[in-house]
A = this chain, B = another copy of it.
Amino acid sequence: MEKQQAKYRKILDLIEKMIAEGVLKPGDRVPSLRSLSFDLGVSVNTVREAYWELESRQIIEAIPQSGYFVRQSLPGNAEESEQFFSPDPCEVSLCQVYANFQEQGMPEAGTNLGISTLDENLRPRQKLSKYFQEIFREQDSGTFNYSMAPGLQELRDQIARYALQGGAEVSPREVVITSGCSEAVFLALRSICEPGDIVAIESPVYFNFLQLLQELGLKIIEIPSTADRGMSIEALRFAFDRFDIKAVFTIPNFNNPLGATIPDEDKQALVELINRQKSFLIEDDIYADLHSDRHRPRSCKSWDTEGRVLLCSSFSKTVEPGTRIGWVLGGQMLKRIIKLKTLINIGTSTPTQKAFARFLKEGGYDRHLRKIRSLITDNRKNMRDAVLASFPEGTTVSNPAGGLVLWVTLPGEMDTMDLYYSALEKGIIIAPGSLFTCSEKYSNAFRVNAGIWNSEVEQTIAILGRLAAKKAKSIA
């Protein structure tokens, strides 16, 4: 063991020395795992671990299917780099802008680009209203009675059928209806974890989720994710080797905030890892229906054979968020989730469950999706083009194949927290990168809603672009 430690240190020292002496320059490819393993007579695993450590110190970076490279900008100080891949799980602490961000509420549509929402004009308001009016006109006595957890049978049947579209064969018995996806994730987390437990999360991660983890007294370990492949399964494996991880959280399809989709082979590997480690996967699959390609991406749940994947979702991103309908496929935690839901609010609104059951059963949901998919694809494209046209040169924008959000990265040293405050003065809200982590990352990135595109949004992006350009000049 000590011998291995020594070898590990030797690799770290070697690479750092090569960089310090200019043998390896920023952007250079570092020796492959296999070649260094051969050269130094150490196992590939030891080299991999050393590279991981270097990656966590922001000295090198992995580029998928290419290998490891020296980073373009090396970290300024050791303290900062320590936090990139926090070596120890930490309690959740949130950046100052959080409270501020939460309190801004929802100004008029179009100026709040910090949310993730579908254009109201693309929502099936009329159709849905029709079903609700029908339910209330009928005045069936059941409509006004409790539909206790797990929820109304007719809606659970529909959700089970619907899960099949993501490749998951589940029984209606596994479905628990919730008041939105947040409640589903809350129930899933609370059913699995005790305060102090460790949860591995993709990073950057949806900020409300960080706050929920904090509230539940859980420790987190942030797993690096990329816009093209989502959460790194390699990194997760690395974390599992070191820590007792109770649950893993990911939005596997068109995720928030990167827009990333985990490739099928990685999803399968993820579920296998979860099973091997006897951990749990909480999968938030809320964006999956908003795909530009012909087929909906598969859910991780579709590979679940042991009930260790808890799929959470809702209609808040695809239909509307206001009536609060979501669900969780409870897996091994089903009984516990039903009990928790019963204790917290007994059940979700009965007429709402009835209306959504009909909307699904009569094909309204599928028709609606077919109608809006290409429009959302256009919105994303328009938003992406506008950002690239308005923002300073060197700005990059993620290019997801679905979903509602784009991840914008500004060049150089630009701080999006500055941009956030300047935009706020003009009544514009963006979601700065710092919101999506507990460490010091993503300070030059922000998330923008691409679910709405109109002339007002177009003008707002132009204003934001000018603000960013001004800041870029002041730095240069």
A424 within 8 A of B: no
Q: Give min CB distance, A24 to chain B, whole Å.
A: 45
The answer to whether A146 touches B106, judged by C-beta atoms less than 8 angstroms apart, is yes
* B-contact bits for A305-342, CB 8 A (1 contact / 0 none): 00000000000000011111000000000000001101
State whether A322 and B345 are in contact (beta carbons under 8 Å apart), knowing that A125-B139, A133-B137, A139-B129 are contacts in the complex: no
A211 within 8 A of B: yes
The answer to whether A349 touches B320, judged by C-beta atoms less than 8 angstroms apart, is no
A100 within 8 A of B: no
A145 within 8 A of B: yes
Residues from chain B with a CB closer than 8 A to the CB of A346 are 180, 182, 321, 324
Q: Give min CB distance, A123 to chain B, whole Å.
A: 6
A143 within 8 A of B: yes
The answer to whether A322 touches B343, judged by C-beta atoms less than 8 angstroms apart, is no
* B-contact bits for A346-360, CB 8 A (1 contact / 0 none): 111111100000000
Which residues from 140 to 189 on chain A have a C-beta closer than 8 Å to any C-beta of chain B?
A: 141-148, 178-180, 182-183, 186
B126, B143, B182: the one contacting A139 at CB < 8 Å is B126
Q: Give min CB distance, A350 to chain B, whole Å.
A: 4
The answer to whether A321 touches B144, judged by C-beta atoms less than 8 angstroms apart, is yes
Residues from chain B with a CB closer than 8 A to the CB of A41 are none
CA distance A210 to B348 in the complex (A): 21
Which residues from 114 to 137 on chain A have a C-beta closer than 8 Å to any C-beta of chain B?
A: 120, 123, 125-126, 128-129, 132-133, 136-137
Q: How many copies are assembled? A: 2
The answer to whether B147 touches A215, judged by C-beta atoms less than 8 angstroms apart, is no
Q: Give min CB distance, A42 to chain B, whole Å.
A: 46
* B-contact bits for A197-236, CB 8 A (1 contact / 0 none): 0000000000010011001000000000000000000000
Closest to A184 in B: B345
Give the size category of A's interface with B. 35 or more
A65 within 8 A of B: no
The answer to whether B102 touches A143, judged by C-beta atoms less than 8 angstroms apart, is no
B148, B215, B343: the one contacting A215 at CB < 8 Å is B343
CA distance A342 to B320 in the complex (A): 17
A195 within 8 A of B: yes
Closest to A323 in B: B349
A476 within 8 A of B: no
A20 within 8 A of B: no
The answer to whether B125 touches A343, judged by C-beta atoms less than 8 angstroms apart, is no
CA distance A123 to B321 in the complex (A): 29
The answer to whether B148 touches A105, judged by C-beta atoms less than 8 angstroms apart, is yes
Residues from chain B with a CB closer than 8 A to the CB of A342 are 102, 208
CA distance A320 to B349 in the complex (A): 11
The answer to whether B144 touches A128, judged by C-beta atoms less than 8 angstroms apart, is yes
Q: Give min CB distance, A132 to chain B, whole Å.
A: 4
State whether A215 and B322 are in contact (beta carbons under 8 Å apart), knowing that A126-B139, A345-B182 are contacts in the complex: no
B136, B148, B178: the one contacting A133 at CB < 8 Å is B136
A344 within 8 A of B: yes
CA distance A132 to B131 in the complex (A): 12
The answer to whether A322 touches B182, judged by C-beta atoms less than 8 angstroms apart, is no
Q: Give min CB distance, A148 to chain B, whole Å.
A: 7
Residues from chain B with a CB closer than 8 A to the CB of A323 are 144, 349-352
CA distance A337 to B148 in the complex (A): 24
Closest 7 CB pairs of A and B: A144-B320, A322-B350, A183-B345, A179-B345, A129-B136, A144-B322, A132-B136
Beyond the given A136-B136, A211-B339, A349-B352, please list 5 additional residue pairs across the A-B interface where CB-CB is below 8 A.
Answer: A129-B139, A132-B132, A133-B133, A144-B320, A180-B345
